[in-house]
Structure 1
Amino acid sequence: MSIPVVTVGRSSEDLVGGLERLHGPVSVVRRCSELAELLAACQSGLARAAVVAEGSEELSASLVDRLSAVGVAVLALTDNPAEMTRLRGIGVVAEFPGVDAAALASLITGAVAQLSGAGPRPALGADLAFTGAGTALRPSDGGAGRSQDGSGAGQIIAVWGPAGSPGRTLIAANIAGELAAEGNSVLLVDADSYGASVAAMLGLLDEAAGLAQACRLADQGLLDGDALRRIATPVAIKSGTFRVLTGITRADRWTELRAAALSLVLDRAREVADVTVIDTGFCLEADEELSFDTMAPRRNAATLRSLEVADTVFAVGAADSIGVPRLVRGLAQLEAAVPQASPRIVMNKVRAAAVGRSPERQLREAWERYGPGMALSGFVPADTAAADAALLAGSLLLETAPDSMLRRAIANLVCAPAQRNRKSSVFSSTAKLLSKG
């Protein structure tokens, strides 16, 4: 069956004629005069592939993502090597204008197969190289430091929790600090589209909205490792340094955090940092269920995409009669929205005043009886004095309260004590430490 194709650009005349003379795998169903017309034709279900012969500079990661969402593969022709690199970085199959019709048809067929899942599909942002007529697309060998899936070797940790201030930001920021103190290169990302607060917690100026800047560059295919390092704000601590991509300065700027652009930012983060820690928002609602325009930006896209790409997800809940039920309901939503998440569940703000004597034991027993079937992984004690001191100083617990139970419990979630005993849970040392209190 022939693949329907739409084209745009004056130079597409010869291109269209060559494809039509093949009488084979592709057929041109519309010649568009501008990119907006091509987008409308693709969203109407007219085509499976779009060939941009002119005007490729208007293509962005978000636009490519919109076309991919309706099953349309995007190819562009350009004789500018820099533009070709940019296009490949945002998921476009790019080739020189002189490509012959048979080779272009092969490119179209391969791109559509990859998009539909019939062939191996590289990660968004992975470079694609043309290997000659009649051959398929393959990821290029460029991009040092990338793993086989097209991204860097760095790990991503997402810290999520339901509504009600369970302590996501406190735990995310201090996890980043503890990992940096262990000698890792760390990037802390504030992806909360409702109430970004990492900058305030660390005493940073947040007018710049670092994550929004990175997403803008990524959307245009211009974000590389050096650019990401320049945008991220360095934070010096006594035993190391980590970088921060500050969040949006106002909640109404959520449209700047598009899923496709954020994916590219996190791909670059894997390349430049050993560990990326993401402070996510609370809401997991699928916005498209509430809107007739399925192509519109998504308010919760930043949170959902962060959870989708994370290697480890910490689900944080407040250990009280309101926070625990919220966490139970939130975990059900998380499982439905991101089935692959497999969260590590952490009870935060644990205190006898809210739970009763032996709060860890009581919480564990109640969770086993009424919880969602996922085991509790650990407990973080309430320590208002230590948390307030750190917030007042615009610093981390390892600097303002290094010997506090709160700091030790957070450190043991990810750092050396757990790593030395790999046969046990990463939270076992935390539980033992807390049981002594």
Structure 2
Amino acid sequence: MNIPVVTVGQSREDLVGGLERLHGPVTVVRRCAELPELLAACQSGLARAAVVADGSEGLTASLVDRLGAVGVAIIALTDNADEAARLRKIGVASALTGVESAELSDRIADAVEQLTGAGRRSATWSSLADTGAALGTVQAEPAVVPDRPGAGRIIAVWGPVGSPGRTTVAANIAGEMAADGKQVLLVDADSYGASIAAVLGLLDESAGLAQACRLADQGALDASALQKVATPVATKSGTFTVLTGITRADRWTELRAPALALVLERARQIVDVIVVDTGFCLEADEELSFDTMAPRRNAATLRPLELADTIYAVGAADPVGVPRLVRGLAELEAAVPQASPLVVMNKVRASSVGRSPERQLQDAWERYGPASGIETFLPYDPAAADAALLAGSLLLETAPDSALRRAVRSLVCAPDQQKAKSSVFSSTAGRRSKG
């Protein structure tokens, strides 16, 4: 196997000569003066590996992802243990600057094998959400214990265009789970109309998620840093934290898929539940661009959906919202084939559907909807929703006994309780409407 390699940096004059004298599979095809030159050489298809002998501090998760997208593995040389740990976080293999040529050649071959080997690609890195690819790491010396996968659960709340109530559902799910004693992080990943901060009455101008992505891109996001950029929200029943969304829609480029994946994986390690309020659009927008390496606006929606353990698909229960949800679920299946969304019908009311709205919706869904059934119905309760919005709070505080709050809570209660949940239109708990 021949492995063409490009290098950058002049810190080791004998680096290239040592590799060439081995007469092994590794062949140095170009020396580059700086990282942009190396990136251009790699994107031209010239190399399968890159050795960064100097300037590793310029490597970011986004750059690594772009190189991985064209099948280029990266080895960085550094004697700094902190830098080696940072590089490992963004998917870069490293070695000491004094590494022998034979060992460096072996590490290059291993890195290429890990990048291209079948079944070794990490789910936290690129897929439909972006154009990059992951690089499995090779430990630097001295050895560092790798981060363990987190046990936190990711819940993504998605819905089609038309304001079906994604943000209201996401925020109140976070509040209900916090009230149950769980450590919860609420993430506003809507790159079109972030609104979690407004819903919760937060005076935020810094966009916590953008800050977290910036730190993750640099390999500097640890538990302490994530907690600093997250905003705590205290309710009478519990406290959760929030990564607020971008303050303007034109800042969407700050939410790149590789960095966002790192943020979610780091959050898994420190909280029990991550609730992500996503955008509506699932369009694979790289098809609309001649630059296939450009950042993708919809990656901020697609990546959480790809990583989610549970997806709630929220649709408005009216003659416009239901068809939109049906079409949206078909798009979701095409964009994220592994997804198994739980359908949530929101704003259920007789005035828009007819008498016995739940039964009407259920019958229509069985005839025209997807194979998956409706998980739950959320009643149209404008008084409760408006009171919460006016107060910048959650239903559990402003309308704890409302039908809407009880229905949202039924989504996150214990499984045995869910079996006994009642119709949102029942006048008595535990008794379904027969109308």
Shorter-chain-normalised TM-score: which range?
A: over 0.9
Mapped to 1, the partners of 2:423 and 2:382 lie a distance apart of 21
Would the aligned equivalents of 1:156 and 1:278 in 2 still touch at CA under 8 Å?
Answer: yes
Q: Could you say which residue in structure 1 is the equivalent of 2:55?
A: 55
Give the aligned partner of residue 169 of structure 1.
167
1:131 CA displacement: 8.0
> Equivalent residue for 1:294?
292
SS of residue paired to 1:380: strand
- Is the Cα contact below 8 Å between 1:85 and 1:127 reproduced in 2? no
Give yes or no for contact 1:187–1:244 (8 Å, CA) kept in 2. Answer: yes
Does the CA contact (< 8 Å) of 2:171 and 2:394 recur in 1? Answer: yes
Match of 2:348 among 323, 347, 350: 350
Aligned to 2:139: 130
Match of 1:196 among 194, 197, 202: 194
Q: Residues 318 and 350 of structure 1 are in contact (CA less than 8 Å); yes or no, is this contact kept in structure 2?
A: yes
Per the TM alignment, residue 92 of structure 1 is displaced from its structure 2 partner at its CA by 0.6
Cross-structure match for 2:257:
259
Task: Answer whether contact 2:217 2:258 (CA < 8 A) is retained.
Answer: yes
DSSP 3-state at the match of 2:6: strand
Distance 1:105 1:434, change over 3 A: farther
Pairwise CA distance, 1:396:
0.3
Alpha-carbon offset, residue 415 of structure 1: 2.0
Query: Which residue of 2 is the match for residue 82 of structure 1?
Result: 82
Q: 1:121 to 1:107 in 2, by over 3 A?
A: farther
Instruction: Give yes or no for the alignment of 1:141 onto 2:157.
Output: no
Give the SS at the match of 2:13: helix
Question: Residues 270, 126 of structure 1: CA spacing in aligned structure 2 closer, same or farther, 3 A cutoff?
Answer: farther
**How far 1:433 moved relative to its partner?**
4.8
CA distance in structure 2 between the partners assigned to 1:130 and 1:363 by the alignment:
55
Contact persistence 1:215–1:258 (CA under 8 A):
yes
Aligned to 1:70: 70
Q: 2:416 aligns with which of 410, 416, 420?
A: 420
**Any conservation in 1 of the 2:5–2:50 contact (CA below 8 Å)?**
yes
Matching residue of 1:3: 3
The RMSD of aligned alpha carbons is 1.8
Report the Cα distance in structure 1 between the residues aligned to 2:140 and 2:84, rounded to whole angstroms: 15
Q: Distance in 1 between matches of 2:82 and 2:306?
A: 31
Q: 1:278 to 1:67 in 2, by over 3 A?
A: same
Name stretches of at least 5 consecutive residues in structure 2 with no aligned partner.
Answer: 126-133, 427-431
**Residue 129 of structure 1, CA deviation:** 4.7
**Closer/same/farther in 2, CA of residues 330 and 393 from structure 1, 3 Å limit:** same
For the residues of structure 1 that align with 2:166 and 2:116, how far apart are their CA atoms?
Answer: 37
Matched positions, count: 418
* Corresponding residue of 1:135: none
1:403 is aligned to 2:407? no
Report if the CA contact (8 A) 1:379-1:430 is conserved. Answer: no
Mapped to 2, the partners of 1:3 and 1:167 lie a distance apart of: 52
Q: What runs of 5+ residues in structure 1 fail to find an aligned partner?
A: 133-138
Aligned sequence identity (%): 72
**Over residues 9-30 of structure 1, what are the superposed CA-to-partner deviations in whole Å (9 max), with x where a residue is unaligned?**
1134311111112222221111
Q: 1:208–1:359: structure 2 CA closer, same or farther, 3 Å change rule?
A: same
C-alpha separation in 2, matches of 1:221 and 1:362? 52
Paired letter, 1:141: V
Asked if the contact 1:173/1:396 (under 8 Å) is kept, the reply is yes
Task: Give the TM-score, by structure 1 length.
Answer: 0.92
SS at match of 1:345: strand
Moved more, 242-251 or 121-130: 121-130
Residues of 1 paired with 2:388 and 2:9: CA distance?
A: 58
What TM-score comes out, normalization by structure 2 length?
0.92
